[in-house]
């Protein structure tokens, strides 16, 4: 194993400070009664594949909560009483060290060091959420420093960046196996992808071009709803005049080709920097937006939908802010277009109810969950957000903002990711 570097240590510290206890693998509580004998408890732990248990002892105000670990088993075996006759309450510790689920992981590590314990009881408000073990905490931090951080910031060549990119899939598997919520994995993957794209852009483009452009990602990547690597959806918004850069086309080819090597397939619809339509100056992009809204091109609403999910990942983000402000102005009073824009949410409706097909037997036709399940929700929320000038790009964040602004009934926004 390579020796730890200062950048590794910095990443570990960043993970400890920015991550919350609930982000790590908090093991679900397994309870036993304090009157249970040690041998019976060990049998239960063996059957469950566990190494510790929370011990409930007493009733009402006198009730107390302790924890039994392998250390307690060692101590029990050294006592004169046979383990089969020894009550668990006689060997466990009841002075548990507790921490809130929303506390920093750094605080969890500090508590473990200060009190010389290997486990913390995690509470979410008054409810017991589970137990955070030292090994789980260290594993979480190590995954961030050696897998999540991926040397992206330290990469000085495209080849080095490729090595980093290839570890993202392994990181996803590790976090998923560790019990991390899918929503949090998606958020982490999105952040890493954005850093990856930004670093790649800085490696293939000269500094002057980086400073006078805004690299955009769109689609599920822009919405922060991607975990596995899907087709590229990217664009480049340039300060007027820089679209004439003599090497721009060549740089765009290098950028998209590198992403393809990293495992991000080229977009079948050519929504990439290599397409001049998606590599334009501010003035040209403003003209494109107006054409997509008021022109006769049937692809206009689709292209606007793609652009509306864009976020800036590198360069001058103010370029995107100005373009969004222009879009709001162009759309003012365009109710007819907004109705046409929202219509695709129903375009996949079929004569035979998809719900009936989902529950029917013997129907061998495949059910497209994207077309019939997620797309109507994502695009419906997108259309409402476009109408009400919601700037957030993620579906969950858009729902939050629409509900907060009373543009959407709270019941319709129920389950919109409040626990993310």
Q: Are residues 313 and 351 in the same domain?
A: no
Lowest-pLDDT range of 81-85, 186-190, 201-205, 366-370:
366-370
Q: Do 77 and 53 fall within a single domain?
A: yes
- Cβ 310 vs Cβ 217: under 8 Å: yes
Nearest-5° Cα angle at 208, 216 to 149 = 55
More confident residue, 128 or 415: 128
What pLDDT is stored for residue 364 in this prediction?
57
Checking if the pLDDT of 333 tops 50, the result is yes
Quickly state the pLDDT bin for 10 (edges 50, 70, 90).
Answer: very low
Q: Does residue 409 sit within a domain?
A: no
Range picked from 20-34, 63-77, 143-157 for highest mean pLDDT = 63-77
What would the 3-class secondary structure string for the chain be? CCCCCHHHHHHHHHHHHHCEHHHCCCECCCEEECCCEHHHHHHHHHHHCCCCEEEEECCHHHCEEEEECHHHHHHHHCCCCCHHHCEHHHCCECCCCEEECCCEHHHHHHHHHHHCCCEEEEEECCEEEEEEEHHHHHHHHHHHHHHHCCCCCCCCCHHHHHHHHCHHHHHHHHHHHCCCCHHHHHHHHHHHHHHHHHHHHHHHCCHHHHHCEEEEECHHHHHCCCCCCCCCCEEEEECCCHHHCCCHHHHHHHHHHHHHHHCCCCCCCCCCCCCHHHEEEHHHHHHHHHHHHHCCCCCHHHHHHHHHCCEEEEECCHHHHHHHHHHHHHHCCCHHHHHHHHHHHHCCCCCCCHHHHHHCCCCCCCCCHHHHHHHHHHHHHHHHHHHCCCCCCCHHHHHHHHHHCCCCCCCCCCCCCCCC
Give whichever of 148-152, 187-191, 310-314 has the largest mean pLDDT: 310-314
Handedness of CA 193, 199, 204, 207 (dihedral sign): positive
Whether 418 is in a domain gets the answer: no
181 band by pLDDT with thresholds 50, 70 and 90: confident
> What CATH number does residue 240 fall under?
3.30.460.10
Q: Report phi then psi at 215, rounded to 5.
A: -80, 130
- What is the pTM (predicted TM-score) of this model? 0.62
Q: Does residue 272 share a domain with residue 313?
A: yes
The strand pair at 234-238 and 279-281 is best described as parallel
334 lies in some domain: no
Between 7 and 97, the more confident residue is 97
Q: In which band, very low, low, confident or very high, does the pLDDT at 17 lie, cut at 50, 70 and 90?
A: low
The pLDDT of residue 375 is 82
pLDDT, tens digit, 9 for 90 and up, residues 368-414: 666 666 788 898 899 899 999 898 888 889 999 999 988 888 877 76
pLDDT band of residue 49 (cuts 50, 70, 90) is confident
Total number of domains in the chain: 3
| Section 136-148 average pLDDT | 61
Tokens of 237: 């918004």
Which of 72-81, 135-144, 205-214, 270-279 is least confident? 135-144
Count, residues in the chain: 420
Domain membership of residue 24 (yes or no) is: yes
Domain identity same for 176 and 289: yes
Q: What is the pLDDT of residue 110?
A: 81
Return the percentage of the chain with pLDDT > 90, whole number: 46
Residue 332 lies in a domain: no
Contact 173, 189 (CB under 8 A): no
Judge whether 33 lies within some domain.
Answer: yes
Residue 283 and residue 319 in one domain: yes
* Main-chain dihedrals φ then ψ at residue 136, nearest 5 degrees: -65, -40
Query: Do residues 190 and 215 both lie within one domain?
Result: yes
Q: Which two tokens stand for residue 97?
A: 């060290």
What does the alpha-carbon distance between residue 63 and residue 216 come to, in Å, rounded to a whole number? 57
Residue 196 predicted with pLDDT over 50: yes
- Residue 56: inside a domain: yes
Q: Greater confidence, 40 or 297?
A: 40
Picking from 73, 105, 139, the residue at the C-terminal end of a domain is 139
> Do residues 101 and 184 share a domain?
no
* pLDDT reading at 240 higher than 50: yes
Mean pLDDT of 111-115: 83
Q: How far apart are CA 318 and CA 348, in angstroms?
A: 37
Helix orientation angle between 158-165 and 248-262, rounded to the nearest 10 degrees: 30
Do 357 and 279 sit in the same domain of this protein?
A: no
Domain that holds residue 107: 6-139
pLDDT at 147 over 70: no
Looking at residue 91, what is its pLDDT? Answer: 93
Residue of 181, 228, 390 whose CA lies nearest to 413: 390
- The alpha carbon of 255 is separated from its chain's Cα centroid by a whole number of angstroms, namely 24
* In a shared domain, residues 275 and 160: yes
Share of the chain above pLDDT 70, in %: 83
Residue from 153, 156, 98 nearest 129 by CA:
98
Whether residues 10 and 69 fall in one domain: yes
Q: For residue 175, what pLDDT band results from cuts at 50, 70 and 90?
A: low
- The single residue listed with the structure tokens 């929700």 is 377
Give residue 415's pLDDT: 57
pLDDT, residue 334, reads 83
Query: Parallel, antiparallel, or unpaired for β 64-68 and 98-100?
Result: unpaired
Structural contact between residues 248 and 284, judged by C-beta atoms closer than 8 angstroms: no
Mean pLDDT of the chain: 83
Does residue 377 sit in the same domain as residue 320? no
User: What pLDDT, on the 0 to 100 scale, is given for residue 102?
Assistant: 92
Return d(Cα 45, Cα 150) in angstroms, integer.
37
For 97-101, 154-158, 213-217, 286-290, which range has the lowest pLDDT when averaged over its residues? 154-158
Residues 11 and 103 reside in one and the same domain: yes
Average pLDDT over residues 105-130: 88
pLDDT at 317 over 80: yes
Residue 14 has pLDDT above 70, yes or no: no
Identify which has the larger pLDDT, 6 or 200: 200
Please check the confidence at residue 416 and state whether its pLDDT lies above 70.
no
Strand-pair partners of 123:
100, 128
pLDDT tens digits, one per residue of 54-98: 999 988 878 899 999 999 999 999 999 999 999 999 999 899 999
Report whether 204 contacts 149 (CB < 8 A). Answer: no
- Give yes or no for residue 15 having a pLDDT over 60: no
The pLDDT of residue 145 is 36
| CATH number of the domain residue 103 falls in | 3.10.580.10
pLDDT of residue 28: 87
Judge whether 399 lies within some domain.
Answer: yes
């Amino acid at each position: 194993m390579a020796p730890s570097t200062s950048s590794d240590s910095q990443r570990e510290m960043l993970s400890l400070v920015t991550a919350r206890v609930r982000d790590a693998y908090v093991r679900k509580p397994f309870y036993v009664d304090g009157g249970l004998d040690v041998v019976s408890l060990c049998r239960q732990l063996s059957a469950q594949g566990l190494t510790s248990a929370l011990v409930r002892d007493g009733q009402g105000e006198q009730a107390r909560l302790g924890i039994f670990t392998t250390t307690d088993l060692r101590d029990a075996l050294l006592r004169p009483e046979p383990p089969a006759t020894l009550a668990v309450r006689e060997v466990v510790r009841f002075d548990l060290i507790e921490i809130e689920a929303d506390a920093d992981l750094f605080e969890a590590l500090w508590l473990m060091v200060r009190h010389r314990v290997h486990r913390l009881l995690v509470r979410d408000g008054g409810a017991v959420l589970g137990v955070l073990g030292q090994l789980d905490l260290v594993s979480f931090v190590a995954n961030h420093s050696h897998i999540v951080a991926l040397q992206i910031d330290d990469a000085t060549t495209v080849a080095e960046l490729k090595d980093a990119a290839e570890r993202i899939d392994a990181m996803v598997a590790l976090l998923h196996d560790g019990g991390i919520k899918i929503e949090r994995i998606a958020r982490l993957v999105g952040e890493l992808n954005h850093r990856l794209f930004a670093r790649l852009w800085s490696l293939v483009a000269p500094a002057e071009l980086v400073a006078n452009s805004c690299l955009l990602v769109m689609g599920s990547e822009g919405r922060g709803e991607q975990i596995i690597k899907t087709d590229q959806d990217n664009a480049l918004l340039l300060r007027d005049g820089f679209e004439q850069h003599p090497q721009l086309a060549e740089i765009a080819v290098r950028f998209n080709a590198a992403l393809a090597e990293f495992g991000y397939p080229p977009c079948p619809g050519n929504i990439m920097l290599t397409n001049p339509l998606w590599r334009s100056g501010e003035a040209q992009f403003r003209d494109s937006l107006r054409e997509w809204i008021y022109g006769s091109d049937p692809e206009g609403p689709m292209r606007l939908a793609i652009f509306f999910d864009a976020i800036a990942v590198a360069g001058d983000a103010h370029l995107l802010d100005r373009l969004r402000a222009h879009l709001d102005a162009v759309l003012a009073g365009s109710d007819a277009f907004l109705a046409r824009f929202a219509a695709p949410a129903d375009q996949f409706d079929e004569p035979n109810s998809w719900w009936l097909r989902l529950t029917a037997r013997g129907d061998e036709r495949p059910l497209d969950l994207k077309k019939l399940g997620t797309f109507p929700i994502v695009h419906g929320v997108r259309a409402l957000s476009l109408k009400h000038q919601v700037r957030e790009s993620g579906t969950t964040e858009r729902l939050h903002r629409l509900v907060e602004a009373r543009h959407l009934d709270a019941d319709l926004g129920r389950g919109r990711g409040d626990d993310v």
